[in-house]
Amino acid sequence: MSGQSINNNNFPDGGSPMKILVINGPNLNMLGIREPEIYGTGTYAELEALIRAEAARLGVEAELFQSNHEGTIVDVIQSAYRRINGIVINPAAYTHTSVAIADALKSVGIPAVEVHISDPDTREEFRRVSYIRPVCAATFKGMGFEGYLRALRFLCGRY
């Protein structure tokens, strides 16, 4: 069985639990502070707690990471190579600009899911382009924080 194969217990290859890396891009550490009409009132700390609770419920290990820097996000994706079984990523504004993040996701060959709290496709024209979507297995958008939980379940094959 390959390193990316998942069984019903979320134990890849029957060994240690599945590991999922959750990456949040620039300004998402400011959640709950401004623009609640777009992103809701929940804070980044509350989002982390929800993700950790869902990961525990699913029996997977979650590594959570937030950065405002494109190169740092590329480094974190590369560090997942041969170590992580699935990636959940909200690249925030880099969604619409970053060939580097898309290339990094493609290079590691790890199943990835794109998440957006809002629905960028119903907002300004410049948000309708996603460089990330073509290298992801699925996109969850416009569901608030629930999108991250749906992405975790998707990677575990439980949706």
Instruction: Calculate Rg over the CA atoms of the chain.
Output: 15
| 39 tagged catalytic | yes
> Toward ligand CA2, which CB reaches closer, 85 or 98?
98
Cα dihedral 20, 21, 24, 30, rounded to 10, equals: 80
> Toward ligand CA2, which CB reaches closer, 13 or 143?
143
Could you say which DSSP state residue 124 is in? -
Joined together, the tokens standing for residue 144 give 């608030």
Catalytic residue among 39, 94, 131, 148: 39
CB of 116 to ligand CA2, least distance (A): 4
CB of 142 to ligand CA2, least distance (A): 8
The dihedral through the CA atoms of 121, 122, 127, 129 has a sign that is positive
Residue with tokens 């959940």: 88
Catalytic residue among 94, 116, 131, 148: 116
> Toward ligand CA2, which CB reaches closer, 13 or 96?
96
Binding residues for ligand CA2 (CB under 6 A): 27-28, 30-31, 33-35, 39, 90, 92-93, 95, 116-118, 120, 127
Active site residues: 39, 116
